[in-house]
Amino acid sequence: MSRNTLPLAGRRKLSFASEAGAAAVEFALVSILLFMLVFGIIEFVFAFHSWDATSNAAREGAREGAVRSDVAVIEARVRAASDFLDQSQLNVSITCDVGATAVSLDAELRAAGSKATSSVSSSPTNTTT
């Protein structure tokens, strides 16, 4: 046998034994999806919290409107119930129909591209003394 032709058993196979950076590349690819999922969940929680806060504030305003028909007092109650929200982005519109004694309240919050709207109507109970 000549030196130039080695038998197949003696040849070295080409292998990819060095996979030292493979884990880092896989993490880089998977971490994008993981971070998008985590931050999407966090953004959903913020939007849900804003919606729940406006809904609670609308209920508080409707409760106040069932007792009093003063729009300033009702709006103060709504703003007090949602004082942790950005008040500059909170739009409160109150409609009091004294004849029907019903209060309709719409509270909107626009923050980070999300809009939370709550509308509540309430009628006071008739109390005779």
pTM comes to 0.62
Q: What are 13's two structure tokens?
A: 């196979």
Q: Rounded CA gap, 85 and 112, in Å?
A: 13
Asked if residue 2 belongs to a domain, the reply is: no
* Tokens found for residue 31: 């971490």
Domain range for 28 is 22-122
Total domains present in the chain: 1
122 compared with 86, residue with greater pLDDT: 86
CATH number assigned to the domain comprising residue 58 = 3.30.1300
Q: Is the pLDDT of residue 110 over 60?
A: no
* Assigned domain for 5 exists: no
Q: Cβ distance 87 to 75 under 8 Å?
A: no
**Is 58 a domain residue?**
yes
Give tens-digit pLDDT for 40-63.
999 888 888 888 888 888 888 888
Q: What's the CA gap between 61 and 96, in Å, rounded?
A: 11
* Separation between Cα atoms, residue 125 and residue 80, nearest integer Å: 24
pLDDT above 80: residue 105? no
Q: Do the Cβ atoms of 109 and 85 come closer than 8 Å?
A: yes
